[in-house]
Chain A
Amino acid sequence: MDQTTVKKSRYGMAIDLDRCTGCGACLIACAVENNVSPGQPKVNERNGTTWMRVFEVQDGRPFPDAQTAFIPMMCQQCEVETPCVSVCPQNAVEVDPETGIVGQIPQRCLGCRYCMTACPYHARYYNWWDPKWPDGMEKALNPDVAPRMRGVVEKCNFCHGRLHEARARAAAQGSRQINPSDYIPACVEACPVQAIAFGDLNDESTDVALLARSERAFRFLARLGTETKVYYLSGRDWVRRLADRELARSKKETLHG
């Protein structure tokens, strides 16, 4: 088959923070899809495994004027100088040049956690325990995703299992180009208020490419220069100022004169 007909993609997301209600459906859908096991009795906010986390953030004004935003945070799929890729001693993290997705190979991971210290978004999770499901529930695991054992790092990969399935479906129809509607990550699918757009940023016509160029779009810690592919949307000034510390500070200064 002709290689040149396969278009390179840059998959990305645009998450509307003005719509997110913080319900957590994305988080659960993600865990279901990727066979993340329920927490152990001693699990807590810092050693659990949630490939995506929803932060509840306030503007800092006191009762009764506080404003709240919910910020879903998962692997931001850094494109340039991807911090986790260069640090891994055994090539267990790779950026797929065909999709732009940062992939984690848990089977090769040593569990040194260097990538976790490298990630500015804290989007990487270590398996502090072996995965364990209540009796019988292992029969209800997603057949497309292998569970990971304790001692390795894992993270969001834009639902790799679903990408595989979409490719298989395309291949069955003799195409190398997947149908965009076949590849939708679980969180995007589940969101009750449809706050997440997903697609190929290289394709100008997709919703996500359009939204990424909108005036409301911004990225977190963009000044680190890692060119993340997860965009956030908000029309609220204080939310947009959460993007980095310099911006957040300028806000404080204007507030206090």
Chain B
Amino acid sequence: MPLTLTRRNVLKFVGGSIAGMMVTPLPWKLLDDVAIWTQNGPWIPKVPRGPITTAFSTCALCSAGCGIQARCVNTIPYALSGIRNHPANNGTLCPSGVAGHHLAYHPLRLKSPVQLFRREETIEVQPVSSEEILGKISAAVAISRNAGEGTLALLDQRPGRSVSLFYRNQLAMHGRGVYLVSPTDPILITQCLDEMVGTSFGPVGYNLERVRTVLSFSAPVLDGWGTPVQTSKMLAHRGSSGQKGARVIQIDSRYSRSAQLADQWIPIKPNTEAALAFGLAHVLLREGLYDKALIQSRALDFQTKGKHSYFDLVGRFTPDHTAECTGVSRDVIVATARALAAQGPSLVIGDGDSGGGPLGREAEMAVWGINILLGALGSNGAIVHHRAVPAPKEFSANGLSPVQGVSDIPDHSIGVLLIDASEQGDPLPWSLLERKLIPDQSLVVAFSPTLTGLAQHTHYIIPTPAHLEALTDVPTMLSSATGTFSVSSPLLRRPEGTMDAREIMGKIFEVEGTLEELLKQRTSAIFESRRGRVFKASTGSSVQLTELGSSDELWAELTAGGMWMDDPVRSKPLPEFHFMGRSPAAYERMLDAGEGISSSNEPDAPRKITVLPYGRRAEVGGAQLSPLMTKLYQESGLHRSSKVAVLNPATAKEFNVANGGRGTLVTERGTQEVTIRVDGAVMPGVAEIAVSPEPVGQAGTEIVQEQDILELIVPDQAPTWRAFRATLQKA
């Protein structure tokens, strides 16, 4: 049949084709393809493809020194986990550590130097060259050195690192250099002990293995205070494992995580810890629950009769008087003191919480005092003396600038303030720092990977490598029984425009050398000491340092998730000491701290609320919060930011605010809006507010100033900011 091209035939052909096509896979495949196309828009990021590798390092977000194992794609880490059997974390990580590899992508990350202009609620930045900033610093440093106008101060957010030794060394040589740390730094706690003993007692740590009873004065002992391994051990007796752990008694004004998890929570009126410490000492002394002969032979201010002696001081804090001061019942005070003596070995921990501010010098000395009475400090106690981590000789030869707390230096004295915020440490109210500066003449520069935390208050920022881009060492944790040393080696390539703190300081002081050289020198010093053991990530076990062939071998282990742990030393016997320290008006200061004179004599109109700021380790600065931390802060109520105030229902009623409603906190320094959360477990009359700003999950169009409750602190009010008064109104 001839094929003629008529319209009818064409239509028939087309129709037939369509019908025939239906029985082929073609249209159905097309349909499925459309389905696949609708599955993911092209704007949804595709997952990276490339070789999968594993790398090891050490987390430097806090001084726990957890070993981390990174799974990498194209050498970029995409998931972190702990190294099994690692002495600090045994295969686990805290939430900050788990998301540590995200910090390099923080929305407020800086990759080139900037000058800052603070506006009403935002911050504007303008790019400048690092040479310009360094030139300004050098000029100011020269003026400070030659003309004597103002000091050169360096605030170290993570003291105890090798680079910290370098700083102290350089500042000592400068002449007018001041080395500053946050008043909450553990170094200052051991300084209190030094003040009691009269000389440097040397580094101390806690041997938690030995302890049966732990009494914590607001330290977050079960919430990131120690290493994950230590916390896990302390919690081991909970649950079914049948293991034994220490009994933890938490003294806390807040219903903190540690208060929630402790075996006993003793709520206490804010800022009355010193009184309770004296009250406990009173019971121990009155009931003779201490080694009389030893104390009498060692304590130089322990005359049982004389006025202004420790005995006299503590004598004032009868259980009834202490109960009045602290709000803790008389019976609890007596029972606690007895339990500490009977269920030893006992340990009393001061320290406070990293966000909540220091306990205060006097309270810390009062805590050391109980430890001494309980025998915790001495040959068989839980507070152990350990040796400093070996350091290159040049540091001791050139001298080290003393470690000073920010509140210990005179106001209006700083001409140039350098803030090493490359590792974020404990939070610090800017107001405390600001009043130390010479008004309108000072230069403030931060070295920081991000535009967060204290860096938001500076004139210039020189960007440093972020966590896991930087090479840094991790200092020994206060809770550690021996010195430790580990190195956080970079897992990510650092961006072009960044400089590490050693490079920056090298340029300012014109000193050659790199951080890597410094850390290698330190490693050599450790190797040469021939002490201690080394944990090897590759095998998951520890070996004697002497089994390693060379310093380079040690370096290789340390940079791959390893850790050096010093050998324990025999504890020193209790030296001679003063319970109240040696400063002139010691008795009066201790008494004031106990009676709370400095903080409680304000008129009570209008009625104010007591704000209790607190922080969580490694979650207190914006830079340390992975964008994913929105999961804990905004997307679940598990962690709270500075924007949330937690109140007892009765208190909320009293201030006319409701659960979920808004309130405004006002002090002389400013106002802050908070969302109210009501919690029946919280102490009446207080507002618990975290110091952390909310994590930034996404970059905004402008840089909004962090809302941090510490901004409200009026610096003259008290030497510590663990509790401060503010008015609270319904917003």
Contact = CB atoms under 8 A, between A and B. Distances in A.
Q: Within the complex, are A and B direct neighbours (CB within 8 Å)?
A: yes
Contacts of B74: 139
Contact of B223 (A21, A38, A149): A21
Given A22-B638, A63-B683, A147-B47, A194 B631 contact: no
Contacts of A257: none
A48 B628 contact: no
State the majority secondary structure of interface residues on B: loop
Interface string B220-251: 00111000100110010011100000000000
A166 to B, nearest CB: 14
In the A-B complex, list the 6 residue pairs whose CB atoms are closest, starting with the nearest. Answer: A48-B635, A66-B681, A38-B697, A39-B630, A138-B45, A137-B105
Contact of B94 (A25, A63, A64, A130): A25
Interface of A: 16, 18-19, 21-25, 27-29, 31-33, 35-36, 38-41, 43-45, 48-50, 53-54, 56, 58, 60-64, 66, 68, 106-107, 130-149, 186, 189-195, 211, 214, 216, 233, 235
B300 interface: no
A66 B36 CA distance: 52
Nearest to A107: B39
Interface string B251-281: 0000101001100010100000000000000
Contacts of A144: 47
A23 B228 CA distance: 11
A26 B209 CA distance: 27
A148 B44 CA distance: 8
30 contacts: A16-B240, A23-B257, A24-B632, A25-B97, A25-B98, A27-B632, A27-B636, A28-B95, A32-B78, A32-B79, A32-B98, A32-B628, A38-B695, A39-B634, A49-B635, A50-B631, A60-B680, A63-B648, A63-B681, A64-B681, A131-B44, A140-B78, A143-B50, A149-B41, A189-B91, A189-B92, A190-B92, A195-B239, A214-B240, A233-B240
A60 B680 CA distance: 7
State the majority secondary structure of interface residues on A: loop
Given A27-B95, A40-B698, A190-B93, A22 B257 contact: yes
B106 interface: yes
A45 B102 contact: no
A45 B635 contact: yes
Given A32-B79, A136-B105, A192-B231, 8 more contacts: A28-B98, A28-B626, A48-B631, A54-B636, A64-B265, A130-B43, A137-B102, A149-B41
Interface residues of B, number: 80
B239 A134 contact: no
A48 B74 CA distance: 30
B2 interface: no
B105 A135 contact: yes
Contacts of A135: 105, 107, 699
Contacts of B80: 32
A140 B76 contact: yes
A15 to B, nearest CB: 10
Most buried by A among B73, B104, B681: B681
A232 to B, nearest CB: 12
Contacts of A44: 634-635
B119 interface: no
